[in-house]
Structure 1
Amino acid sequence: MGALAALTLAASVGAAPATALGQRWEPSWSPDPRIDGVGAFEALEDDRRGSHPEGLPHVYVQGNAYRFDAHLEDRDGSDRMRNESRGMRTRNGRKIEIREDETWRISYQMYIPDTLHATPSFTHIWQLKAPDVSTPLAQLSLPIVNGVPKIQARYWEVDDSVHEVGAADLAPIQNKWVTTTLEFKSGDDGYLRWVLQDGKRTLADKRVDHIDLWFSDEGYNRPKWGVYRSIRSAGLEETYLLVRDLKAWRLGPRNPVPSTPPPDRGPGAYEAERVGNVFEGAAEPARCGVCSGGHKVLLTGGNIYDYTVIRGVLSETTGARELTVHALVDGAQTFFVSVNGADAIQVPMSGNKEAVSTATVQVPLVAGVNTLRFYNLSARTPELDKIVIR
């Protein structure tokens, strides 16, 4: 399907909500895999645990489509695997944010082979999520319902309860290209509409209104494509998913970015989100309305894979220095900090996620440049705002 046909299809899917009358659907994203490659996405979650390096890459361009491989060796934890892309970027590298109370329409073609099974546990092939909330807002999933393999659109509530929007039989759409369109308002009083088409035939067209599709105070929503499934289902095969003709439109003008504090430019201050730092595994910067620089780093700790490294920490002398950690804390949590690869120093913290808390410890620095690795092998850490060296 060409760009004009896809635009015509998306423009024909339903009417805009009454509050949006007079606004136009603004084309916002239309990547060409052969030109943009995987740089069309904000980031990849391609075997981020390093479970199957021989299979890399698991997310790549195949012809005019993006391909997501799922091998039996792949793991993203003890009970699941994940090879996905997340978010959208323009051709010049700008991140595209879906902001609060914005209405978006995303349309694309997908090819689901018959080796990509519906499962009694979970198999997701598209998600809508906020960076700083683990619960998804919406999904396309492949469940088994009353013994029948289905493709199902669903939405979640922040308490992790899940609700069906619509469903169709999976078998008739496998081994062929079909088109799906997801239209939604990202707000506390949002809506979600899902359309599935096989050529000119509409297989599903369902909509739910007055649902919460905004879980993040300062963040944004972003789509994810790929294969994310439980490994605890019998009969799993090595498989893949293909997507092509990706298009996104926004209804009306952009909503403003929430205002955030400026970065700390004081002596010895290092922002956690600073360019050049390392965010490994699930760890990544996210917007934060109360944090210095307007950002924090979240999803650090809980395993050996998810950690943050602050690089370029300067010291004029070798010896003990005072390290003050600034972070958002959910009750009582602990950082482990390894300086230049040495044994870790514990930094216990307490507080709440509405305000920045601090803790101070002594750390051994060398004269020159130092690196500080923040991690926790057994539990999530606080969300790191910045560090200050005295």
Structure 2
Amino acid sequence: MPRLPALLLTVALLMPAIPAAAAPAATGPVVADPGASAHGPKWELRWNPSPRKDGLNAFEALEDDRRGSHPEGFPHVYPEGDAYRFDAHLVDRDGSDRMRNEVRGMRDSAGRPLEIRKDETWRLSYQMYLPDTLDATTAFTHIWQVKTSDTGTPVMQLTLPIKNGVPKIEARYWTLADNQVHPFATHDLAAIQNKWVTVTLEWKSSDDGYLRWAMHDGRTTLVDARADHIDLYWSEEQYNRPKWGIYRSIRSAGLQDTHMLIKDLKAWQLGPATPPVQLPEPDRSPGAYEAERAGNVFEGAAEPVYCRICSGGRKTILIGGNTYDYTVVRGILSETTATRQLTVHAVVNGAQSFRISVNGADSIEVPMTGTPDRITTTTVPVPLIAGVNTIRFFHLGARTPELDKIVIR
């Protein structure tokens, strides 16, 4: 890992305010980056979704009460006029001690994910409305994050803590080596509640990156601070992606039903995009079914992500550990009703196991032992019916291996 970061804060008097409405290309870059001179890379507007036109398709994925804890409150995330609204109720749950209603990632007008890759510099700007019912908490309440799919620790956050008895909004980043949080700027929360404010976040996703947070009330700069020489890129395969919404602990006193609104979302990128990671081709041999195959089911946190060593360049992660996170491989064909041999290909970290259920029948355990730097395989017999079959991969007690593909013989 790179060295632990050194923190440098730059206040608004020493640093020009980030324009709230104008596109950066029209005003010139305002980052202290040698490559951002007047003759260097230019800012390009990459994302400017319309709630009315694009709806939730503007985002890569939706996390709307993914545990199904409060169906009467559905939807919890939805367009409302020219804004996106996130509702949070006291009965919502995403596990035993927290609730989460968020969106993650960005999609362009063609529906492709916008991937924030290594050494890229991005700027996000949006307007935000926090009612006084969305208050700071003694545990945690996050309203914006950047995460990478294969790491549970957030890269950076906007959060609502209580500091010395005073409710605050705080910008912070994390270091992965020690899993430590580093706050670098705060503002009184009460001063921005029940009104629209403009939030701008700018960062370089690099081993030696920076993060800048600015907030404006109209033309008034409320905060403008920056942290330099920090590691903001943790994965060579995955990419950074922002998340908006309400993610809070239920272990704080005084929680209320509440909501948050965001609108006028924009994302600019400085200079050209980094080429995507080169990944293997999928296995197209008879009887092979990729875990990320279109039409498969990815429930709860389970999702396909990049994988350099996997067939098709993807694997499905975050399977198991509860009843909610599972994946189903669909469309498995068999000409006859018979017992066939199923070979599971997966990335395994030590001793792990899947539970698999074929066509909804009683499950069997598939134990595997391996290391994360290679693909591990194991073969078990499974009963298939003539026609189309499905196989559900899950585990109630622990995370499973990361599923690459299956092969039926």
TM-score calculated relative to the size of structure 2: 0.93
Contact 2:20/2:125, CA 8 A, preserved across alignment = no
Between the aligned partners of 1:10 and 1:246, the Cα distance in structure 2 is 18
- AA aligned opposite 1:14: V
Match of 1:51 in 2: 69
5 Å-filtered alignment, 1:1-390, equals: 5-7=21-23, 14-21=30-37, 22-158=40-176, 159-390=178-409
Between the aligned partners of 1:97 and 1:207, the Cα distance in structure 2 is 23
Deviations 1:242-272 (A, max 9, x none): 0001000000001100111110011210000
- AA aligned opposite 2:295: G
Contact 1:190/1:209, CA 8 A, preserved across alignment = yes
Contact 2:29/2:36, CA 8 A, preserved across alignment = no
Pick closer, same or farther for the CA change 1:302–1:4 going to 2, 3 Å.
closer
What SS is found at the alignment partner of 1:172? helix
Pick closer, same or farther for the CA change 1:236–1:311 going to 2, 3 Å.
same
Between the aligned partners of 2:29 and 2:83, the Cα distance in structure 1 is 23
Question: Superposition RMSD on alpha carbons, in Å?
Answer: 1.5
Between the aligned partners of 1:187 and 1:343, the Cα distance in structure 2 is 47
Contact 1:6/1:107, CA 8 A, preserved across alignment = no
- AA aligned opposite 1:121: A
Structure 2 residue runs without a partner (length 5+)? 1-18
What SS is found at the alignment partner of 1:5? coil
- AA aligned opposite 2:183: E
Between the aligned partners of 1:36 and 1:284, the Cα distance in structure 2 is 23
Displacement after TM superposition at 1:29 (Å): 0.2
What SS is found at the alignment partner of 2:23? helix
Aligned residues: 388
Contact 1:165/1:194, CA 8 A, preserved across alignment = no
What SS is found at the alignment partner of 1:88? coil
Deviations 1:345-386 (A, max 9, x none): 111111122211111111111111100000001111111000
Contact 2:345/2:405, CA 8 A, preserved across alignment = yes
Contact 2:205/2:232, CA 8 A, preserved across alignment = yes
Displacement after TM superposition at 1:132 (Å): 1.4
Displacement after TM superposition at 1:178 (Å): 0.3
- AA aligned opposite 1:342: A
Contact 1:329/1:351, CA 8 A, preserved across alignment = yes
Pick closer, same or farther for the CA change 1:326–1:387 going to 2, 3 Å.
same
Deviations 1:137-189 (A, max 9, x none): 00000000111100000001113210012111100100000011100011111
Displacement after TM superposition at 1:103 (Å): 0.4
Contact 1:336/1:344, CA 8 A, preserved across alignment = yes
What SS is found at the alignment partner of 1:38? helix
Contact 1:108/1:180, CA 8 A, preserved across alignment = yes
Displacement after TM superposition at 1:12 (Å): 6.9
Contact 2:25/2:42, CA 8 A, preserved across alignment = no
Displacement after TM superposition at 1:113 (Å): 0.5
Contact 2:20/2:216, CA 8 A, preserved across alignment = no
Displacement after TM superposition at 1:201 (Å): 1.1
- AA aligned opposite 1:181: T
- AA aligned opposite 1:68: F
Deviations 1:68-104 (A, max 9, x none): 0001110000000000000001122111111111000
What SS is found at the alignment partner of 1:215? coil
TM-score calculated relative to the size of structure 1: 0.97
Match of 2:7 in 1: none
Between the aligned partners of 1:382 and 1:42, the Cα distance in structure 2 is 24
Structure 1 residue runs without a partner (length 5+)? none
